[in-house]
Structure 1
């Protein structure tokens, strides 16, 4: 079962990394802003295809190697899991290395071609876009908190009945193989961590909903549709993640409170199901958002804005390496990623640190204190 989970994760990471240059916005290539009319430039397409080919080769070698290692009975389950866990990081690091190489190539190409030299740069505001925003209300993310609070109360009531050694890990047959001393922290850590996640998701959704809807002046129609899809489907994906994480933590906590409540096979199937649903949700998100205003759209939108000599303001100076956004003039806390699907922080806005980094720090402190 662990092999299947790891294999699915590796395949997903591989396919995502191979496809990522093609489902990002047309006007942002490897973190570099280009005019809409240059989206099909021969060198631009060559860089994207070369990135995909190299990433595909590395991924194929990694997956083949993982299959071979799985056949080696002398390797041991622990080492196999370790290798399977490291492979996605190898693929991600490969993609990141290639990204920076092509980011440099795109920056150089942009200067050589003198793009934006004769183009008027403007900011587009669409007052009707907000009325079409279908993001979920942030209060939805507080609903699962009822489960976490209930588990905290239940755990406190059953504390004296629990054994002195609390299981922290279960083996492939569902039998506990790692324990820690019973304490209030070890007993309540799972529902508390779940509660922290829920408030973090609430904050992310709240401030994402307040972020600006950035529309490309060179392609108003398609870029607006992409923004609306991004906001809608990421809010649903965030809520799905919240619900699934809450159920997973509740499942583990109930298994801790009531010994032998769940069978060993169920202990294996639940994490597998969690992983499968999350990856499926991420795939749907990528398709829904990445199929608009990207190479996967299959055509260049031929509207009035696409044929004009007008483009949105070039914001490359606010993106460090095309990945880290630092713009003190932008009130948005979250902005669309330049490489991938989803959102990233505006690191110039300190509120973002409290919304994301502080909860993550609390979770890590709780996890390593047990």
Structure 2
């Protein structure tokens, strides 16, 4: 089971990392803004192909190596976990090095070819998007929190009947492999972590709805539809993640309270099903939506616009990954390399939304 879980993760990671250049907007190449008239540059296409090919090759080697060691019973379970983590981090490390290299090469080529210097740079914002926004209201994200609070109340009511040792970690087979002594804090610690994660999802959805919509200057109508669809699908994806986390954590909590609540088969199947659904949903989201909705097809025809390009804000993107702009009120912005959102590191509220909950979760885990 452990081997299967890590193999699924490694295969998924390899495919996603190798496909990233094809999931992004054509006007953003390795974190660099490219004018629409230059997006078909052959050199840029070569960079993307090399990145994907090397990432895929490294991933394939990792898959074969891990499968040989794991399925060949060369390693004990503990070493299988360590090996699986090493393989995944190796794939991420190689892809990161490749990204940085091609980010530098793309930046140099843009400067050398003087792309965009003779074009008028404009920023187009959709001021009417709030009336068309189909993102889920944040109150919907708060509903799972009510379930968690209900489980906390129920746990307290069952405190005397709970075992003396409370599980704090579950292995790949779904069975608890770490415990702590029962006390009023330890019996609800798992639910407190869940509550923090749910709160973080509420905050992310709320502030994502408030973030600005930047349209493509040369494809305004198409990009408007894609942007709105991107926000809608992102909201639904986050809500699905929240629901799945609530089910998984709630299940583990109920098995702690009632040892006979689920058999060993269910303990193994549910976490595996959770992983598979998350991986499939992530893949569907990435390949259907793409960066900023770039893979969403529309039947809208944009008027031909020449002589302009999007405002170049590369100066605010450190290495094309970290967005730092104190003058931008948006807390969340689209990733430049990857699908989804990242925080504006120039806005301190972003730190509170992401880093704050992580610190709380760390403190809760440390106190167990």
The reply to whether TM is greater than 0.5 is: yes
* C-alpha contact 1:142 1:202 (8 A) present in aligned 2: yes
Q: For residues 162 and 365 of structure 2, what CA distance do their matches in structure 1 show?
A: 20
Q: After TM superposition, give the deviation of residue 288 of structure 1 in Å.
A: 2.3
> Do residues 51 (structure 1) and 85 (structure 2) align?
no
> Do residues 138 (structure 1) and 120 (structure 2) align?
no
Q: For residues 11 and 22 of structure 1, what CA distance do their matches in structure 2 show?
A: 18
Aligned partner of residue 357 in structure 1, secondary structure: helix
Shift of the 175–55 alpha-carbon distance from structure 1 to 2, 3 Å rule, reads: closer
Match of 2:337 in 1: 339
Superposed CA deviations along residues 142-198 of structure 1, whole A, max 9, x for unmatched, are: 100121111111111222222322223445665543321112221111111111111
Shift of the 71–312 alpha-carbon distance from structure 1 to 2, 3 Å rule, reads: same
Q: After TM superposition, give the deviation of residue 312 of structure 1 in Å.
A: 1.3
Shift of the 9–137 alpha-carbon distance from structure 1 to 2, 3 Å rule, reads: same
Q: For residues 293 and 190 of structure 1, what CA distance do their matches in structure 2 show?
A: 35
Match of 2:247 in 1: 247
Cα RMSD, aligned residues only: 2.0
* C-alpha contact 1:166 1:186 (8 A) present in aligned 2: yes
Q: For residues 98 and 175 of structure 1, what CA distance do their matches in structure 2 show?
A: 39
Match of 1:164 in 2: 164
Match of 1:304 in 2: 303
Match of 1:62 in 2: 62
Match of 1:238 in 2: 238
Shift of the 74–290 alpha-carbon distance from structure 1 to 2, 3 Å rule, reads: closer
> Do residues 366 (structure 1) and 364 (structure 2) align?
yes
Equivalent of residue 349 in structure 1, options 336, 347, 350: 347
* C-alpha contact 2:141 2:202 (8 A) present in aligned 1: yes
Aligned partner of residue 187 in structure 2, secondary structure: helix
Shift of the 298–158 alpha-carbon distance from structure 1 to 2, 3 Å rule, reads: closer
Shift of the 127–163 alpha-carbon distance from structure 1 to 2, 3 Å rule, reads: closer
TM-score, normalising length from structure 2? 0.94
Match of 1:323 in 2: 321
Aligned partner of residue 188 in structure 2, secondary structure: helix
Superposed CA deviations along residues 116-152 of structure 1, whole A, max 9, x for unmatched, are: 1100001113334333221111111110012111111
Q: After TM superposition, give the deviation of residue 311 of structure 1 in Å.
A: 1.0
Shift of the 302–100 alpha-carbon distance from structure 1 to 2, 3 Å rule, reads: farther
TM-score, normalising length from structure 1? 0.94
Match of 2:24 in 1: 24
Equivalent of residue 314 in structure 1, options 290, 312, 315: 312
Q: For residues 94 and 108 of structure 1, what CA distance do their matches in structure 2 show?
A: 21
Name stretches of at least 5 consecutive residues in structure 1 with no aligned partner.
Answer: none
* C-alpha contact 2:122 2:308 (8 A) present in aligned 1: yes
Q: For residues 44 and 368 of structure 1, what CA distance do their matches in structure 2 show?
A: 47
Q: For residues 270 and 14 of structure 1, what CA distance do their matches in structure 2 show?
A: 25
Match of 1:124 in 2: 124
Shift of the 199–171 alpha-carbon distance from structure 1 to 2, 3 Å rule, reads: closer
Aligned partner of residue 121 in structure 1, secondary structure: strand
Q: For residues 185 and 199 of structure 2, what CA distance do their matches in structure 1 show?
A: 19
Match of 1:190 in 2: 190
Aligned partner of residue 218 in structure 1, secondary structure: coil
Aligned partner of residue 184 in structure 1, secondary structure: coil
Q: For residues 59 and 163 of structure 1, what CA distance do their matches in structure 2 show?
A: 44
* C-alpha contact 1:222 1:292 (8 A) present in aligned 2: no
Q: For residues 173 and 198 of structure 1, what CA distance do their matches in structure 2 show?
A: 25
Match of 1:262 in 2: 262
